[in-house]
Amino acid sequence: MEEYLEGLNEAQQEAVTATEGVIRVIAGAGSGKTRALSSRFAFLVNEIGILPGNILCVTFTNKSAGEMRQRIHRLTGDQDTGYINTFHGFCVSVLQEDSHAVQYPKSFLVLDNSDIDAMLKIIYEERGLTLREMTFAKARDMIEILKLKERPDYYLDMITMSLDVLEQKYRSAATPKDIIFYGYLYQEKKCFGLDYNDLITFTLYIFDENPEIRRKWQERLEYIMIDEFQDIDGLQYRLMKVLCGHHRNLFVVGDPDQTIYTWRGADVRYLLNFDRDFPEVKTILMMDNYRSAPQILAAANSLIEKNGKRIAKELIPHCPDGPMVECHLAKTAAEEAAWIAEKIKKLQEEGVANRDITILYRAHYVTRTVEEGLLAKKIPYTIYSGVQFFGRAEIKDALSYLRMVAYQDDLSFLRIANVPRRNLGERRMRFLREYADAHGCTMYQALTDTVEEPVFQGTKARQFLSLVETYRQRVEERQISELLSAILNDSGYEEMLRTEGSQERLDNLAELKQSVYEYETTCGEESTLEHYLSHVALFSNSDTAESGDKVKLMTVHAAKGLEFDHVFLCGMNEGIFPSRKVRTLDGMEEERRLAFVAITRARQGLYLTEAAGSNLDGSPRYPSRFLLDIDQRLLAYTEPVPEGLIQETRTYLRLSDRELSMEEANICQPGQRIRHRIFGEGTVIEADMEKKAHLIRFDDLETPRRISFRVALEVL
């Protein structure tokens, strides 16, 4: 038994050996919870004699499930690692065994987003819907909201209705919302497909309706362990309660301070209030941190204690002292990137490998200036869960439009002649290529020569030529930044992204425009279109894509569960981190938890950076509130903080917090009857979180009005 407990502290040993009953482990970042979980599994199998097939161990990603299986295999030597899976993966196992209970075959399809989009395409074509009415991305979100919140009993239609009846419900639907929803349910049933939401709801239905099947699974799962319990949602919680209903051996581990998936349905209250459903629970605190230097932990503790909805606790360091947390307040984003690159160079000189350095950020668009800084210093890097800035599709498309104006080259032509769609498909492109080959010209020239041919009837070829020629003639008259903005607008490219609901891609384009503007302001007379395209080609080549020792770049969400020797957390500005999309005080607490997760990824060195200047919308940048949340004595500023900056920032934050609390208090739910002090009584149609306003149909007005959250409404 000693081998499973060797090297474990008292709290970890207790977690491993407390096998019976309900156990809740509050495990801080870097406290060794994964080791404790895998040791507990091995203890159950090797010491107590529990069969692996009678243990369910739930993780939240397929990757972590795979890693857990490997750990447990090494500890037990047994190829059978039981049910080590995600909730969705476990439900697939249940349905593969018992799908007959809902008249589904064992070979049912598990649908991904591309499958869903293919179904939506069929529905839109059949019922004459367009992307202007609702993009596929918004349709997917709407379907998920309907399934989870507005129509949680939807699965009854899928299970109890015949295919013909469900089709009739789809055909008779009148509103786009109902057409899409019932069309999707019909398409799902037609191909025996289930999406992620269905997997859990169908499993719960089978358990509710079939006591013998429920009992079978309850008896089979003698021990249940759930990792990352702070990320659990309502359906998963229900499933867990059902599964542990017989043996009552339930082990959950999580950290309320690392709840960062509320937008996905996670609810930290399930962990915080666990004892209400399980009054017999035994709680174990694992606060010993074996990852980070004391200086890093002190900053993390100081930050997270500003949150109200948490279990008060403090991580205890067990690593040697390290340097103080460095904080650099840059004058510009370019200077921020240059400082990061220079610091990495110094770390390299000290013998630190590139692979041990990671740059974290809140959103992908932040990487543009960082990448330029790394390239300038010839520091190799790789981007996780994302594509290098100048390699992103929308950036390459935008640059191809500029190249069309400057060069009319074939590569750019092939890339964007039909983006947005101009009905210039493969057949017509083949025609142009053959003409160009025969006449020794570019494909653009080929189109110019043949645009009147019958083959181009019914296309927008002439409009495309007109667009390029217009900007070719004006190229000398306009700044490159103006040219880029105008051509992306006139071509319909940005409208296409808006229609698709691709906000991240639009943010990237905004960042590209900012980079062009910065180029213009630093290059003086040399800022011609040709010069810029030559300049940017240095960034868009793939030299950095070679394998080897590289600095990692990733979002904070992507870094969850990982750790690195040296962490740079950049873009620490209001509107970037925390995100400008935060609308409530609860949302701000989640952003602070996200910052906490970022800080606790670092083992030896932590470097926080921000840049003055302007945000994408032109508003002035302030340092992030999270920098000010940390006890200033714990931060080593690289330069004296400009006089008045902290006070100015705190004033801005007070106003921002007041607005958040005011708006949160004033948000009404759709369907609520309200009274406006001027317009009188009405009904709330929707609460638009993006626009920060209610859409209200007032009794005495012919058309609805959008009323800002700032205005308090009397709820009737």
Give the residue numbers marked as catalytic.
33-34, 227-228, 258, 601
Instruction: Give the burial string for 616-649 (b: 16+ CB within 10 Å, else e).
Output: eeeeebbbbbbbbbbeeebbeeeeeeeeeeeeeb
Residue 151 burial (10 A CB sphere; 0-12, 13-18, 19+): middle
The CA distance from 85 to 59, in Å, is 6
| DSSP string across 131-150 | TTT--HHHHHHHHHHIIIII
Tokens 């938890």, residue? 593
Question: Which ranges constitute the DSSP H helices of 641-705?
Answer: 645-666
Structure tokens at 372: 């330029």
Structure tokens at 330: 């840059």
Distance of CA 196 to the CA centre of its chain: 17
CB-based contact 538:375 (threshold 8 Å): yes
Output phi, psi for 579, to 5 deg. -65, 145
Q: CA–CA distance from 25 to each of 222, 271, 600 (Å)?
A: 19, 10, 19
The CA distance from 271 to 256, in Å, is 7
The CA distance from 566 to 605, in Å, is 5
Q: CA–CA distance from 501 to each of 111, 141, 170, 276, 396 (Å)?
A: 21, 11, 25, 41, 19
Name the 3-class secondary structure at 106. coil
CB-based contact 110:92 (threshold 8 Å): yes
> Could you give the maximum distance between any two Cα atoms of the chain, in Å?
84
The CA distance from 409 to 403, in Å, is 7
CB-based contact 170:185 (threshold 8 Å): yes
